Amino acid sequence: MLGDFTVQVRAESDPATVGPVDVVIVAIKTYDNAAAYPMIAPLLGPDTVVLTLQNGVDNVEQLAALYGEARVLGGTTYVATALEAPGRIVQTGVHRSIIFGEVFGARGLTPRVEALAAALSMADIEVRAVPDARTPLWDKFVYLVPFSGFTGAARLPIGFLWSSPQARDMFYAAAREVAAIAHAEGISLSPDRWETLQHYMDHIPHSTRSSLLIDLSQQKRIEVEALQGVALRKAAAHGVPTPIIATLYAALRPWAVGTPQA
């Protein structure tokens, strides 16, 4: 943990009052995409780039459909936090990293990616610029779909599940289902993805909860459609069997908009 600190931010309800900016960082929950993405338009100048750090793998396509592929960067973040109260964010884990890069076109470590990485690193963020952001997006998706799915469905932190050999086996089987989807999509995972995933899971604090579980416990909306839902839809398009993910989705889907109504 890094201790307590207060950030004085300039918040605006109307993006038009801000005007064009150099970079738009999108870090909202995916269930707000339809409402929030159109609000980006007044922030765009000729060279503005839009970086999404959201959960899931299809946000870059949604943004590109609105604003063009040339503007959009993709990335992922590993950070454990919870919104304890309005304006109060509590760190619940030790990670604070961002991995990002180009998604469309020729890709590679472009000058804009390197410049943004340098700016982020000055803020004590563990940042890694990559030539192809699709790999880290799917690397995380392989982990996050089962992690959020199992902790959410069980309503338990990961430690309770990891003590069960059956749960561990099913977790890795679900991760392999997502990896099969990535392969069908033509995405290459990191060569050491399974080794790093096993090391991470074997050393993760037992009290760690997914953000989906945190939202579920607070009766908030959950990102089941951007995680298990997207995985299922992509799997169906390629004919990839995903029985475990389908079961997790079925268990979580009724809670997508908060507490189910009778």
pLDDT tens sequence for the chain (262 residues):
667 888 888 888 899 999 899 999 999 999 999 999 999 999 999 999 999 999 999 999 999 999 999 999 999 998 877 778 888 888 776 677 899 999 998 889 999 999 999 999 998 889 999 999 999 999 999 999 999 999 999 999 999 999 999 999 999 999 999 999 999 999 999 999 999 999 999 998 898 889 999 999 999 999 999 999 999 999 999 999 999 999 999 999 999 999 886 5
Indicate where the chain has its CATH 3.40.50.720 domain(s): 15-132
Q: Which CATH class for the 135-255 domain?
A: mainly alpha
First-to-last alpha carbon distance for the chain, in angstroms, is 42
The pTM of the whole model exceeds 0.85 = yes
Q: For domain 15-132, say whether CATH 3.40.50.300 is its number.
A: no
Indicate where the chain has its CATH 1.10.1040.10 domain(s): 135-255
Angstrom distances, CA of residue 16 to CA of 39, 41, 42, 64: 9, 9, 5, 21
Show contacts of 21-24: CB within 8 Å, 24+ apart.
21/45, 21/48, 22/47, 22/48, 22/49, 23/48, 23/49, 23/50, 23/51, 23/116, 24/48, 24/49, 24/50, 24/51
Q: What's the CA gap between 139 and 134, in Å, rounded?
A: 8
